[in-house]
Amino acid sequence: MDYNVNERGYYDEFGGAFVPEMMYPNIEELRENYLKILNDQSFKDEFSLLLRDYVGRPSPLYYARRLSEFYNTRIYLKREDLNHTGAHKINNTVGQILIAKRLGKRRIIAETGAGQHGVATATVCALMGLKCIVFMGKVDVERQKPNVLRMKMLGADVVPVTKGNMTLKDATNEAFRYWINNPVDTHYIVGSVVGPHPYPDLVARLQSVISEEMKWQLEEHTGRPDPDFIIACVGGGSNAAGSFYHYLDNEKVKLIAVEAAGKGIDSGESAATIALGYPGIIHGSKTILMQNDDGQITEPYSISAGLDYPGIGPLHAWLDKSKRASYENATDTETLEAAFQLTRLEGIIPALESAHALAVLGKHKFKKDDVVVVTISGRGDKDMVSYIKYMEEKNF
């Protein structure tokens, strides 16, 4: 089975580049250059130096002793929460800004929902002294004040989008529109393994540093580079793609991706795309998405803003269809319980997104000497309001 993107930008039937004709030249410029740049030695040197000294990589692979005892298996945590800015997203934005510079771009645009990708983008723009414009639905601007202020502090312009539902999908449309009108000097930093080809492949390659490190770190810890299981949460799917990347062709490693079931799969309030969605086109690529009978994209819901996305990257649509990875889900409540369990057993407060991955540990029967890697995609500081609310409800 082939899990790589083909030359036309497809993972089997999923992917492609469904963009307005006016945007084609921008996408084409990136498609023609991205592999050349990624393979260029000066790019590789600059990228690894920044990953080391700015992001703080390698991120540790931590043997979680008390969590392992609880589940009676061997659990390792890949600590993306310890990266600069608190999550895996910075791996991608650092890589893309280096590409933008090599393409001679002076301005960066991005769209953001929860604001996490906007902050990671504004951060690298400050680092490189490039102008940064972040499109964000007006509803999200109001919901995500701290991240909006962070972006502004970093020097970005945050543009509130007042069309449609005023959320992520509308912000994306606005970013596309801006790019069409400013093709020459602007690069569009997409934040996950979504969007038109080559973005899903580009972002997966930039995030693949996660599984690249996992290999030698597991070798050090356990004497072999391959775990038995890798578990990661999925919104668009970039931390999962990066965690799976170097193991895709090794079918002995079982891959588990966890979507947000929100208030329950059948509640009408969830973001479990693989569980509930059908093939369609979103953000310029053919994939699985949540839609109603008329093909209108349904508004997703999750307690974690980072998983609150109605689609999923085309690689994941294919990993599901080909049965290479299993797509599971966790509700808000299961996620909160898992976050408190990790906090109490290991002294690590995870992001709510990452806690979804932890929430399926109890649904599997692992053997005592299985090696299970869970990617902790981010830290929980940004989620303290939700955690405090839960403690008040439970009288902690």
Ligand X SMILES: *Cc1c(COP(=O)(O)O)cnc(C)c1O
Judged by CB under 6 A, which stretch of 45-53, 228-236, 268-276, 388-396 contacts ligand X? 228-236
Which position among 9, 198, 306, 310 is part of the footprint of ligand X (CB under 6 A)? 306
CB of 21 to ligand X, least distance (A): 28
Shorter beta-carbon distance to ligand X: residue 16 or 191: 191
**Residue nearer to ligand X on the CB measure, 73 or 247:** 247
Tokens of 19: 């963009």
Please, which residues have CB within 8 angstroms of residue 8's CB and are 6 or more apart in sequence? 16, 197
Which of 192, 211, 291, 335 lies at the binding interface for ligand X (CB under 6 A)? 192
Contact 94, 50 (CB under 8 A): yes
**Quick one: 187 or 379, whose CB is closer to ligand X?**
379
CB-based contacts of 350, cutoff 8 Å, min separation 6: 81, 339, 342, 343, 358, 376, 378, 379, 380
- Asked about 89 being catalytic, the answer comes back as yes
Which one of the listed residues 59, 192, 211, 377 is annotated catalytic? 377
Residue nearest to ligand X (CB): 378
Please, which residue, 74 or 135, has the CB nearer to ligand X? 135
d(CA 61, CA 64): 9
Catalytic residue among 111, 259, 328, 353: 111
Applying CB under 6 A, does 236 fall inside the site for ligand X?
yes
What is the per-residue burial (b if ≥16 Cβ within 10 Å, else e) of 204-241? bbbbbbbbebbbebbeeebeebbbbbbbbbbbbbbbbb
Stretch that binds ligand X, among 7-15, 155-163, 338-346, 348-356 (CB under 6 A): 348-356
- Pick the piece of the chain touching ligand X (CB under 6 A) from 48-56, 127-135, 168-176, 230-238: 230-238
Which residue, 92 or 341, has its beta carbon nearer to ligand X?
92
Q: Is 131 noted as a catalytic residue in this protein?
A: no
Alpha-carbon separation of residue 260 from 17, 85, 275, 294 (angstroms): 27, 23, 10, 24
The least CB distance from residue 369 to ligand X, in Å, is 29
> Is residue 227 within 8 Å of 76, Cβ to Cβ?
yes
Single residue of 83, 335, 354, 386 touching ligand X by CB under 6 A: 354
Using the rule CB under 6 A, is 87 a contact of ligand X?
yes
Which residue of the set 89, 105, 169, 382 is catalytic? 89
The C-alpha atoms of residue 379 and residue 370 are separated, in whole angstroms, by 26
Q: Which CB sits closer to ligand X, 211 or 238?
A: 238
* Nearest approach, Cβ of residue 389 and ligand X (Å): 19
Among 26, 68, 85, 116, binds ligand X (CB under 6 A): 116
Backbone angles phi, psi at 32, to 5 degrees: -70, -25
**Sole binder of ligand X in the list 112, 378, 383, 390 (CB under 6 A):** 378
On whether the CB atoms of residues 325 and 256 are closer than 8 A, the answer is yes
For residue 232, give every residue at least 6 positions away whose Cβ sits within 8 Å of its Cβ, in sequence order, or none. Answer: 239, 240, 243, 244, 256, 257, 258, 357, 374, 375, 377
**Contact track, ligand X, 247-286, x by CB under 6 A:** ----------------------------------------
- 111 is a catalytic site residue: yes
Beta strands in the chain (DSSP E): 10-11, 14-15, 61-63, 74-79, 107-112, 131-137, 157-161, 186-188, 229-233, 254-262, 278-282, 285-289, 325-331, 371-376
Piece in contact with ligand X (CB under 6 A), picked from 26-34, 126-134, 324-332, 347-355: 347-355
Which range binds ligand X by CB under 6 A, 5-13, 25-33, 52-60, 227-235? Answer: 227-235
377, 383, 386, 387: which one binds ligand X (CB under 6 A): 377
Q: Count of H helices and E strands in the chain?
A: 16, 14
Exposure b/e, 151-171, CB count within 10 A at least 16 = b? beebebebbbbeeeebbbbbb
Task: Point out the residues that are catalytic.
Answer: 89, 111, 377
Q: Which stretches of the chain bind ligand X, using CB under 6 A?
A: 87, 89, 116, 192, 233-239, 306-307, 351, 353-354, 377-378
